[in-house]
Amino acid sequence: MFTWQNLVTALAGAVLSASLAAQGGLNSPAAEQNAKSAFWHSVFTENHVLQVELSITREQFNAMPPRREGRDNNFPYVKADVTIDGQAFAEAGLRFKGNSSFGFSRGTSKRPFKIDLNRFKKQKLHGRSKLNLSTSFLDPAFMKEKLGYEIYRAAGMATPGVGWANVTLAIAGEPKELLGIYVLIEQVDERFVVRNFGKASKGSLLMKPDGIEDWPSFSDKAEANELYSIKIGENNAAQIRRFAQLVKLIEQGSDQEFASQIVERMDVEQFAGYLAATSILANVDSYIGMPHNYYLLLDKKDDKLRMLPWDLNETFGAFTMGRDPEDLAQWSIARPWVSRLRLVERLFATEWFVATYRAAIEKLLKQDFTEAKMFARLQAFEAALMPVLQANQQEAVLADLRMAIDGDAAGVNAAVRRRVLAIKPFIQKRIASVKAQLAGDSQGKELRGRRRRK
């Protein structure tokens, strides 16, 4: 029977076949790369929910927690069989991940996981070996990471793809357990760098500092690795030296030296975008707050430093520092940092950077962080997740998802143990606050240090 949908499908198939033929056929490298890209596009963009089964022995599962739980958990990899959308991977690497998210999952089977298909055997899923599975412990809607990264990308950041996985845990000799929906986060690695920044950026210095309020000076490669946790480029002496020079400029350079050199050593426009998105999302559990949950990339392409956001599960004002959640919705855009950060303080002492930052705020508020656009994205995410949640027959999870989006009568997400605003009420309140601050009708509320609520 003729339908327009059948016609469109046939035309699309004809176009794809012609394209593959021009590239050397179905088995050519270009065709293979297209197939890989198409799969991940379906996951990260078209919201295809992966079906994941983790199969493991009880002995291996019990060996996964760290010997001592703390801020810097050192999780061991164990062997597990992993099946993803029907494709089996024997003896894949599996470990727990996270800090607060891991701690909050204590006593349950639903814990945050990292899968490394290539850890013990050479194998990949459509060109990728590592998958990050987040429990989304403060977001029962499973949407904050995906929505938050979209805002960072709109602000000029390279961001990881975000999707979802429906996970089942099978421990040998025990009944299978449906763990349910996880948020799936793309791994930030060299493949990610090349895909987002180009081949000229391959081998760039990629670091992931944690808990450093001001970037400290260092004397050699070993000290740099210890302080900044180098992920790529550990042997790139020239870039490590250049980063050391940047740190010295930030801490010791005169005002004149700082103003004249910082634009040559750092992508300050990109950093202004990072701060703008962080401010609008009230993402305090990040570089500007704890500080952690970010990557630093010293790009070989132009020798400039760029910041990459990471771990957005506590965006939309969920990391309250013991304050009333309303304070996060009213956070002052004039001071988008909490910890002592010499870099930010010096940049905000210059009129040109403040102007760049405010322009980024205004652009996001006008084009991207709008109620219409954000609510439409939430609706699209809900449409993708609802069939899976209904098939799982997890009524409590469905109720929590609704609460996480809409909140109770006061706009509070009563589905979590921390008092935070639900997503929609936060968006509405944050938009109103930022608009009032831009218009000069409000100064917002400054956040300085961590405060315990009474």
pLDDT tens string 115-145: 999 999 999 999 999 999 999 989 999 999 9
Low-confidence ranges of the chain (pLDDT < 70): 1-27, 67-73, 105, 450-454
pLDDT of amino acid 435: 98
Return the bridge partners of 207, or none. Answer: 230, 296
Residue 343, CA distances (Å) to 234, 251, 348, 353 in order? 24, 8, 9, 12
CB atoms within 10 A of CB 200: 12
Give the pLDDT confidence of 21-39 residue by residue, as tens digits. Answer: 555 565 678 888 899 999 9
Distance CA 314, CA 316 (A): 7
Distance CA 305, CA 322 (A): 33
Distance CA 71, CA 89 (A): 31
Residue ranges of the domains in the chain? 31-190
Spatial contact of 411 and 421, defined as CB atoms under 8 Å apart: yes
Longest dimension (CA), the chain: 75
Close Cβ partners of 101 (under 8 Å, ≥ 6 residues apart):
112, 134, 135, 137, 313
Cα–Cα nearest to 300, from 225, 199, 224, 220: 199
At 68, which amino acid appears? Answer: R
pLDDT of amino acid 68: 63
pLDDT of amino acid 27: 67
Distance CA 444, CA 434 (A): 8
pLDDT of amino acid 452: 40
Distance CA 75, CA 83 (A): 22
Question: Tokens for 142?
Answer: 């499973």
Distance CA 343, CA 305 (A): 12
